[in-house]
Amino acid sequence: MNSGNPLLQLPDNKFEAPQFDKINTEHFKPAFEEAIARGKRDIESITENSEEPSFKNTIELLEFAGSDLTNISTLFFNLNEANTSDLMQQIALEISPVLSEYSNDIMLNERLFKRVKSVYDNRGTLNLTKEELRLTEECYKGFARNGANLMGDKRDEFRMINTELSQLTLKFGQNLLAATNKFTLHITDKSMLDGLPQFVIDTGAEEAKERSLEGWLFTLHAPSYVPFMQYSNRRELREEMWRAFNSRSLYDQFDNREIVRRIVELRLQRANLLGYSTHAQYVLENNMAGTPQKVESFLDDLLAKTLPFAKKEIDEIQLYAAQNGFGEKIMPWDFGFWSEKYKSEKYSVNDQLLKPYFRLESVRDALFSLAGTLFGLKFISNSTLPVYHPDVKVYEVYDSEGDFISLLYLDYFPRASKRGGAWMTSFREQSIKSGIERRPLVSLVCNFTKPTTESPSLLTFNEVSTLLHEFGHALHGMLARGSYPSLTGTNVVRDFVELPSQIMENWATEGEFLKSFAVHYKTGETIPDHLIEKIIKARNFLSGYSNVRQLTFGINDMAWHNLITIEQVDDVVQFEKRAIKRAQIFPDVESVSISASFGHIFSGGYSAGYYSYKWAEVLEADAFSLFKERGIFCKKVAASFRDNILSKGNLEDAATLYRNFRGREPRADALLEKFGLITSPPSLL
């Protein structure tokens, strides 16, 4: 059955990498159907086994059950994010409830759970290895947290909730992508480009040309939106762009407000069914933070310490703008513009000055070199493996012994078929089955500045930091060691997963690293010391504002997901305004919303978990201080970080892994020290 479907065949390359050259969107639906049937047979073979439940005949078999479906789902939903189409989005809407039903059938299978529980209850007498014990405990916990202990009508309700949620979260993301693509600012009058640097003008011209339009076109995708907001002298256009960006999926055919409310309601109902008072309580039980109270306290404490700095920074920008003839109150669409001018004047550094030194290929090679220095990795370009879009590049990754580590796919540039932002994902996790090791297939997807007819792809400093961030996630995935895919790589608790990514960002402001690759693409000049000094001095520019901005997202997330009753939500926009009021630093603007476009928490995996970015920043600031003490290229510290963090996945509790690396608990004030936002001595957690 389906023997000609490439999704159901073993790939014909030595890496068993996806056969993108043979896969058509039409292949997915029949492949899903066949893979689901195979997965059901795998489950039946476990439940029909008359032997006493054991780790091998129950837990381990369950870990690899439905592997075809896992592979197909992973591939499909990754492509739906990075290179979607109308047909793919339609299939996603059709298949999501089917996959939800399949998952529910497993988690609510009484005979299967009875066998899992038997192994779990007897785990202390089964002579399990450390890895086997961890998988057994995580497997049982997964069943319990997904309704296995529910009875009767509650099981049916749980099943219906999951099915509806799978569709709603998908629809949220589709609406957001459509709303982002819908808006464009088309300029035909050259005078309206006033203030824009040449690289921004060239990008706008290329965008217009691609759409067969005259003049210049600007979009809400980051490489277009961000520099426009920083440099355009046309305040009315900045306001138009800002309002469009911050009202995505509001009040139009892509409106997400009712979807937000319903997602929150269903998540709360599910948590209540499982015995939790809120969705946040349910989620955080599994995280390092542990409880909503701990997260709220963490956010409030950071807000109290950073809000005064943020307000002072805004006052400084307001004063600077006034001194330069701006007589009005700074609004959100003014802040990026005036702060960029202030930064350029105070530190004599800006993106226009730095971009020529950050050619994309040079930054990429520098990351590869850094991974080689720290972890002994080598990257070899492979132009023969098929890719899902011409922009995508593939690299083979090997360790210092010459052993294959991973494939790495790099997808740099924005397009209408790709959602915004930057992320790391995997087409396959690390595993060992029947003695055969399968190494990871990792992908980095970004939305960076495209090359133009005038210049190669030149990154902003923020894009350099972003690439370092995502590369940290990639290292976490590529360096995984272990037998069971659910325990390897980035499959760790949410407030720990950002540690490997955020620690890598630190190298962006290290002069020794910058001088190793930052060369002017025209002159060949290595970035001069005075520019590096300016970058380092500007590192903490607006650090108070940046921290409060991130805290606002975390506060908003917790407000939605620590609700006790949905009746607390009268209106989505107004609820959000009340929730984040204590962190508000700009005048109120009507008809805008974070929530309607907050994909991380409503279509991604960060519900009740957005705080984890700040939580992990505390960890990375403390962890990087060890590199600073011993040397930023110290192989001994890097080896410890690899052995205790990057390769371990979820084989042990996150807190234990961190202590094994650092030798102690993290210092709570490490983050504030890093950003220069502390005046009192640090204390221990």
pLDDT at 1: 47
pLDDT at 273: 97
Give the gyration radius of the chain's Cα atoms: 25
CA distance 404 to 100: 35
122 CB-near residues (< 8 Å, 6+ apart):
none
Q: Is 396 a catalytic residue?
A: no
Could you say which residues of the chain have pLDDT below 70?
Answer: 1-3, 679-685
pLDDT at 2: 54
pLDDT at 3: 65
Phi, psi (degrees; rounded to nearest 5) at 297: -65, -40
pLDDT at 679: 57
pLDDT at 453: 86
Domains delineated in the chain: 6-107+109-149 (1.20.1050.40), 183-246 (no CATH), 355-509 (1.10.1370.40)
Residue 167, class by beta-carbon neighbours within 10 Å (0-12 exposed, 13-18 middle, 19+ buried)?
middle
Q: Is 561:601 a contact under the CB 8 Å cutoff?
A: yes
pLDDT at 681: 32
pLDDT at 677: 87
Q: Is 572:259 a contact under the CB 8 Å cutoff?
A: no
CA distance 400 to 409: 21
CA distance 641 to 648: 10
Interstrand relation of 378-381 and 393-398 (parallel, antiparallel or unpaired): antiparallel
DSSP per-residue letters across 496-542: HHTHHHHHHGGGGG-HHHHTTT-B-TTT-PBPPHHHHHHHHHGGGTT
Q: Which of 420, 395, 415, 413 is nearest to 405 (CA)?
A: 395
CA distance 63 to 635: 35
DSSP state of 193: G
What are the angstrom distances between the C-alpha of 260 and each of 469, 569, 588, 596?
Answer: 29, 10, 22, 7
Q: Tokens 């325990």 map to which residue?
A: 487
Q: Is 643:482 a contact under the CB 8 Å cutoff?
A: no
Q: Which of 453, 471, 485, 622 is nearest to 67 (CA)?
A: 485
The catalytic position among 340, 470, 510, 617 is: 470
Residue 21, class by beta-carbon neighbours within 10 Å (0-12 exposed, 13-18 middle, 19+ buried)?
exposed
Q: Which of 24, 1, 16, 48 is nearest to 428 (CA)?
A: 16
CA distance 54 to 58: 6
CA distance 152 to 133: 31
CA distance 132 to 57: 13
For the four alpha carbons of 336, 342, 346 and 348, in that order, the dihedral sign comes to positive
CA distance 514 to 392: 26
Token duo for residue 311 = 């307000």
Q: Is 556:598 a contact under the CB 8 Å cutoff?
A: yes
Q: Which of 430, 427, 459 is nearest to 443 (CA)?
A: 427
Interstrand relation of 404-411 and 441-445 (parallel, antiparallel or unpaired): parallel
Cα dihedral angle (358, 359, 361, 365), rounded to 10 degrees?
Answer: -30
Q: Is 399 helix (H, G, I), strand (E, B) or coil?
A: coil
What are the angstrom distances between the C-alpha of 283 and each of 37, 286, 531, 596?
Answer: 31, 6, 45, 21
Q: Is 551 helix (H, G, I), strand (E, B) or coil?
A: helix
Q: Tokens 């209850």 map to which residue?
A: 121
Q: Which of 340, 331, 350 is nearest to 235 (CA)?
A: 331
pLDDT at 454: 85
190 CB-near residues (< 8 Å, 6+ apart):
none
Q: Is 666:496 a contact under the CB 8 Å cutoff?
A: no
Q: Is 39:73 a contact under the CB 8 Å cutoff?
A: no
CA distance 272 to 293: 18
Cα dihedral angle (224, 230, 233, 234), rounded to 10 degrees?
Answer: 50
CA distance 83 to 604: 17
CA distance 457 to 355: 9
CA distance 478 to 468: 15
CA distance 252 to 413: 28
Q: What angle do CA 27, 29, 33 make, to 5 degrees?
A: 115
Phi, psi (degrees; rounded to nearest 5) at 629: -70, -40
Token duo for residue 56 = 């091998």
CA distance 295 to 609: 9
Q: Is 314 helix (H, G, I), strand (E, B) or coil?
A: helix
pLDDT at 452: 87
